[in-house]
Structure 1
């Protein structure tokens, strides 16, 4: 049950995030739907490739495709005056998607009895893969590669699940809320990882 709910939350959040980015870039309606769908399912596709699940498993998620399409439609039809703060809402939905999908990806790898390293990789790729594809298609610098803390939160999800710290539904939902909150704090207060720039 936890798996399904997290998948649904992540799908809605990333579909909305992709649609908002597409509208920011002034894409037409087809571009909005394509970017929303790619954002919602890109991370899962990359994860499946790397941990040995057939990519075709994505096509069995008919309900999630319908949910993603409905979410994108709702955002596209939303009144403009309520979408004035696109950047803020885009970041918030991206934070929800990152947290939900990182946990879902880690659970996926853990249930397949993969080692801790694979659980962490699955968490990072599922949590940030869709966002990376979205940003590349929108010709933006991917969030996960910037100094602002992003992928670290997905790594924490992988560690918590791989080390069996979060096992029960209550623990997983608590982890979801904590990671979402940390991501919101990291972009609100511009927490950054150390970075080194080469002189010109």
Structure 2
């Protein structure tokens, strides 16, 4: 392995693509969207609609009182840590098949995760999920629209790849200009 990039092969049944209006979306990318959506929905359901999620949220708000009523917070927080690690592992496994991996790949994700949390609002799980969707769709749609505009206008000098890397930051600046605490940030959380 060493310092070189690794690119695993896609499963045979996930190769190919589906034509959309102005672009083609790969079957594996659609599979990734489906798995990600189910994962996010399952975690959201776990945190908002189960006794386990209620005890974790209570422990975050007032750990001492939660332990006083008999909840084993270290066990709950350890379980949440493992769940978060499993979700991160799933995301990494899904991504590596599509884009490969190299030793410096984590730097890109840490910065992108920071941007998503800021857009969503620090402390808001729902805001981070929505911000992730917003950034993902913007990164997908803006290059498609710019490519279509380049074809229509005859301009071929648009560097879509370079623009794609700037989209999360443009979205973050736009959101922060309108809502300085992010989409769902709470007043006084960091003050």
- The structure that is helix-richer by fraction is 1
TM-score normalised by the chain length of structure 1: 0.31
Quick one: higher RCO (CA 8 Å, sep 6+), 1 or 2? Answer: 1
Greater Rg by CA = 2
- TM-score computed with the length of structure 2 as normaliser: 0.32
